[in-house]
Amino acid sequence: MSPTSKASLRPLRTWMLTTLGGLALVAGLGAAGLNAAEPGTLVQANINDASAAAPADFLTTGDLVHVEVYDNPDLTIDLRVPQDGAVQFPLVGGIDDINGMTCDELSAKFRALLEARFLNRALVTTTIKEMQPRRAFVMGAVAKPGAIELASDHSGTAIRALSEAGGLDDDADRRHIVVLRDGANGPLALPVTIDAAPGEGGDVVLRPNDLIMVARLDRIYVTGQVKQPGSVPSDPGKLTVTKAISLVGGFDRYARESKVQLLRPGAPIREIDITAVLKGQGEDPLLIPGDMINVPERRF
């Protein structure tokens, strides 16, 4: 990613676009109990809130969108959602990222901009004229990792996607399955409980580009801004955060080395300042099987 990339590009989408070509590279991110975060930090989301809309309701790259302003034909526009989600509207200029918005949310955003500058009252409607295929991705300890097609209703869930991917491998960590999703404040980690009792929930309705991660019991996972995101064998008592990062090729050019995240099932996210560690001024924690390391993207 170049230094001129927009700050609105979210780390999860960037990572997916650069690594999904190699489905053998697997990574995992834990669900953590943070309520608010800056971009690049994982937060745990409420499953019910995350499931509020069907996959077809969310705009995604490649969709052709028709935006119409009632009684103002000069403001009507068709636009193709670009990869970075940044679009331009008549009079009001650009909106940084419409990927993941619903049609109603985009209408409200455009209406607010128009009413703030030009119109006393704007009636804006947004429809999708051409819809790109909706896919989620399953990676990690499953029989057939890869893309899963989503229906345009609420039927696509994480547990159903795991079934379509051939089910879990014998060494899958059934306690630590998460859905990774772009959120307004950075990636969301939505926990999936496949052994939940009836009525307890634990499943997640999927959105386009969701990434379902299934950890292995004997592996350490490293993802984010490293040269070769993936998993490395655990070596209890010997493998540390810095060693694990070195085993995947080290940091990528735009890694935020001072905010490396260590995620461990049942524990809060722990931030590791690798710059300080290399100066002998910080702790380099030992890793245990199932640990996950996320290296956020540095902001410019």
pLDDT score recorded for residue 16: 45
- Each of the 300 residues of the chain gets a pLDDT tens digit; together they read 333 333 333 444 444 443 433 333 333 333 332 222 333 333 333 444 444 456 667 888 889 999 999 998 888 899 999 888 888 888 888 888 888 888 999 999 999 999 988 888 989 999 999 888 888 999 888 999 999 988 766 568 899 999 999 999 888 888 778 887 876 555 677 888 877 665 566 888 888 888 898 888 788 889 889 999 888 888 878 899 999 999 999 999 889 999 998 887 667 778 999 999 999 998 999 998 878 898 988 865
261/42 Cα distance (integer angstroms): 9
Q: Give the residue among 283, 138, 144, 151 at the shortest CA–CA distance from 215.
A: 138
Burial 170-179, CB ≥16 within 10 A → b, else e: eebbeebbbb
pLDDT score recorded for residue 265: 65
* Spatial contact of 10 and 182, defined as CB atoms under 8 Å apart: yes
184/43 Cα distance (integer angstroms): 11
pLDDT score recorded for residue 235: 82
CA atoms within 13 A on the CB side of 151: 9
164/148 Cα distance (integer angstroms): 7
Question: Could you report how far apart the first and last alpha carbons of the chain are, in Å?
Answer: 12
pLDDT score recorded for residue 44: 38
pLDDT score recorded for residue 123: 92
Domains and CATH numbers, the chain: 11-54+134-295 (3.10.560.10), 61-130 (3.30.1950.10)
* Spatial contact of 69 and 47, defined as CB atoms under 8 Å apart: no
pLDDT score recorded for residue 104: 92
pLDDT score recorded for residue 54: 60
pLDDT score recorded for residue 174: 84
pLDDT score recorded for residue 216: 81
Q: Give the residue among 244, 280, 235 at the shortest CA–CA distance from 262.
A: 244
Neighbouring C-beta atoms of residue 31, cutoff 10 Å? 22
Extract the tokens encoding 146. 């890869």
Q: How far, in whole angstroms, is CA 74 from its chain's centroid?
A: 36
pLDDT score recorded for residue 165: 93
pLDDT score recorded for residue 227: 93
Strands 124-130 and 219-224: unpaired
pLDDT score recorded for residue 290: 74
